[in-house]
Chain A
Amino acid sequence: MTTAAIFFYLFASLAIGFSLVTVLKKNPAVSAFSLVMVFFCFAAIYAILGAHLISALQIVVYAGAIMVLFIFVIMLLNADAPSFDFGRSHIALRVASIVLCAGLFGSFVWVFKNTALSPTLGTFTPDQVQSLGGNTKVLSTLLYTEYLYPFEITSALILAGIVGAVAIAKRGKSAKSPYSQGEA
């Protein structure tokens, strides 16, 4: 087993543990910080797999921007009331969903283990990527040549997202003043 494989297993087990904490903990703040740890573990796994640009983007965008948004909303709402009361009304739903997820996971693992892939390989062999200047340079070149139109459409999507988020989070017409009930 190579050093990279050992580090992969380390970060994979950490990611599974922290994602279980994210899903099962009562306090949303604990879940948010566990999710940050999951994102860092994923960034490490991307780096182990050689996807250096994606690894940097994972840290900057997910662990930086999106998690700040989550923690900001948690602090804004102060909504740390527990919502995971075992054994009251939805116990059948909980058992059914856990059984469903475990069964689907088992079948996925069986398929991954027993299916032989015979793929058509692309042109980006590791040596080719190295000679073209590394992962980041290859991805950047592709982004501004082959994927230029999706990249430009992405900017329109971000603009629509900004306008939509402001329009949704803005106070509705029923309130007298936009800032009348400032305690939210």
Chain B
Amino acid sequence: MNAGISMTSGIVVEPWILLSFCAAIFFIGLMGVLIRRNILIIIMSIELMLNAVNLTFVSLSGPLQDMGGQMAVFFIIVVAGVGSAVGLGLVIAMFRTLRSVDTDDIQVLKG
């Protein structure tokens, strides 16, 4: 595979570098979920983790010569969009009830 077709072949850098980059983004997102208390930033970190998984699918779809990975990314994008819409609706409901977006303020199970 020469350099001329590397734009379309999918083997641009070594697969382990690509996968390590995806893992770095994923664990940055996981760190955000664990250490932040603002619910909006937690949802943003979840989006970051979903994007890392998407990039993992795409980066392995090239070397494996299989389009199933890119189709999976298509469906993950749809599910992530629905998930963030419902999650932001939950944030609005939480802010209306508690007047706060701090997750430490969620201390009562009763509505």
The DSSP consensus for interface residues of chain B is helix
Give A66 to B86 CA distance when docked, in angstroms: 11
By CB atoms of chain A within 10 A, which of B15, B28, B83 has the most?
B28
Asked if B8 lies at the interface with its beta carbon under 8 angstroms from chain A, I say yes
Q: Please give the distance in Å from A88's CB to the nearest CB on chain B.
A: 11
By CB atoms of chain A within 10 A, which of B37, B62, B83, B101 has the most?
B101
Docked complex: B7-49 residues within 8 A CB-CB of A? 7-10, 12-13, 15-16, 19-21, 23-25, 27-32, 34-38, 40-41, 43-45, 47-48
Residue numbers in A under 8 Å from B65 (CB-CB): 121-126, 128
Asked if A177 lies at the interface with its beta carbon under 8 angstroms from chain B, I say no
Residue numbers in A under 8 Å from B71 (CB-CB): 139, 142-143, 147
**In the bound complex, do residue A50 and residue B10 qualify as a contact, i.e. CB atoms below 8 Å apart?**
yes
Q: Please give the distance in Å from A5's CB to the nearest CB on chain B.
A: 5
Give A84 to B41 CA distance when docked, in angstroms: 11
Give A138 to B41 CA distance when docked, in angstroms: 36
**In the bound complex, do residue A69 and residue B88 qualify as a contact, i.e. CB atoms below 8 Å apart?**
yes
Q: Mark A115-159, 1 if CB is under 8 A from B, else 0.
A: 001010111111011100001001100110001001000100110
Q: Which residues of A contact B (CB under 8 A)?
A: 2, 4-5, 8-9, 12, 15-16, 19-20, 22-23, 28, 31-32, 35, 38-39, 42, 45-46, 48-51, 53-54, 57-58, 61-62, 65-66, 69-70, 73-74, 76-77, 79, 81, 83-84, 90, 93-94, 97-98, 100-102, 104-105, 108-109, 112-113, 117, 119, 121-126, 128-130, 135, 138-139, 142-143, 147, 150, 154, 157-158, 160-162, 164-166, 168-169, 171-172, 184
Interchain residue pairs with CB less than 8 A apart (15): A2-B12, A5-B13, A15-B21, A23-B32, A23-B35, A23-B41, A38-B48, A49-B59, A66-B47, A70-B43, A83-B36, A98-B31, A112-B19, A125-B65, A126-B1
Which 7 residue pairs spanning A and B have beta carbons closest together?
A122-B66, A161-B82, A97-B34, A23-B32, A169-B89, A83-B38, A165-B89
